[in-house]
Amino acid sequence: MHYILASASPRRQELLTKIVENFEVVVSDFDEDSINFNGDVEEYVKTLAKGKAQNVASKANKDSIIIAADTIVVIDGKILGKPQNENDAYNMLKLLSNKVHRVYSGIAVINTANDVMKNETIFTEVKFSELTHEEIVNYINSKEPLDKAGAYGIQGLGALFVEKINGCYYNVVGLPLNLLNKIMKEII
């Protein structure tokens, strides 16, 4: 079977190699801004992942398994996407300091050979330690937080801020491997 990952994320690409040896990367051009957040986080990330998967599936020129994901950070009912700039990253990290937040991922997998789709969500709770102004500034100066939801990467320097997690580590990285593996078994 031909596999397509609908993501430009190097982290997702690296993680997917643990399940699928060979796959093509086709970046979705699904308009994420077309989806309004109605307060239901799980439905929101599922819808975003589904939109990405369907967008790439519509371009597939042979039978394929399309894999798409969307990951967001949520604290106090507020979604933290990728920071717009360094000041936005600072504010996000300050908000996460000494608190528990949730990282949600929506996964959508489409088998274009039989037109079957599975679309699920998962969340992981993450507890940050208390961050000082200097720690936040130094982290932002590393540039690591600028392209990540919630302004941190648990697999990088952001790991220093994580006191504990409850749930799937790989979900926080951006691709919940256990859930994806389960879905893949069901859809093929």
- Residues 47-66: pLDDT tens digits? 999 999 999 999 998 999 99
- Residues 88-99: pLDDT tens digits? 999 999 999 999
Amino acid at 85: N
33: burial class by Cβ within 10 Å (0-12, 13-18, 19+)?
exposed
Residue 79 has what pLDDT? Answer: 95
At residue 188 the predicted structure's pLDDT band, cuts being 50, 70 and 90, is confident
Q: What is the DSSP letter of 76?
A: T
Going from N- to C-terminal start, the domains of the chain cover: 2-187
Percent of the chain clearing pLDDT 70 (strictly above): 100
70 catalytically annotated: yes
Catalytic residue among 70, 76, 88, 147: 70
- Residues 69-93: pLDDT tens digits? 999 999 999 999 899 999 999 999 9
Q: CA-CA distance, 112 to 95, in Å (whole number)?
A: 42
User: Which residues are CB-contacts of 109 (< 8 A; sequence separation ≥ 6)?
Assistant: 53, 65, 66, 67, 68, 117, 118, 119, 180, 183, 184, 187
**Residue 26 in this model has a pLDDT that exceeds 90:** yes
pTM above 0.85, yes or no: yes
CA distances (Å), origin 105, targets 59, 108, 133, 136, 147: 24, 10, 29, 25, 16
Task: Tell me the pLDDT of the chain averaged across its residues.
Answer: 96
Question: Is 76:92 a contact under the CB 8 Å cutoff?
Answer: no
**Residue 16 in this model has a pLDDT that exceeds 90:** yes
Domain covering 2-187 assigned CATH 3.40.50.1000 in the classification: no
CA distances (Å), origin 151, targets 46, 94, 116, 145: 21, 10, 35, 4
* Phi and psi at residue 124, to the nearest 5°: -130, 135
Q: What is the DSSP letter of 99?
A: S
